[in-house]
Amino acid sequence: MGLGGNVPATEETNGDYLNCPNCGGQLDNHLAVNTGELFKPAPGDIGICWYCGSRNMIDGEGRLVELDKETETRLSEHEKNLLQQAWERWNEKQSIRGS
């Protein structure tokens, strides 16, 4: 965890961020797929990197790590659906941004 961060979608800032293990992007909040609300991530939370789209999770030590295939297969169907929805929203935003 680092100091200082930014949420690209809203330009909100706070004091803490996690670095994406894939691209190094600074991520400081999770956006809940089902509610659209920002929240501070906690161990076990899964999500998509805003910058590169990698599937990540918060480990037991509070670090952001890539979601490996073994862990992904153990997710509930509900969690898999939420992860897929998050990826689809990320992919849609990338299309709009022209990336």
Distance CA(52)–CA(62), nearest Å, equals 20
Letter string b/e over residues 65-86, b meaning 16 or more CB atoms within 10 A of that residue's CB:
bebeeeeeeeeeeeeeebbeeb
Asked whether the whole model's pTM tops 0.95, one would answer no
Give the number of other CB atoms < 10 A from CB of residue 55: 19
Q: pLDDT grade, residue 20 (50/70/90)? A: very high
Are the C-beta atoms of 22 and 15 separated by less than 8 Å?
Answer: no
CB contact at 8 A, 6 and 26: yes
Q: Using one digit for the tens of pLDDT, what is the confidence trace for 62-74?
A: 888 999 999 989 9
% of the chain at pLDDT higher than 70: 80
Q: Tens digit of pLDDT for each residue in 38-57?
A: 887 788 888 888 889 899 99
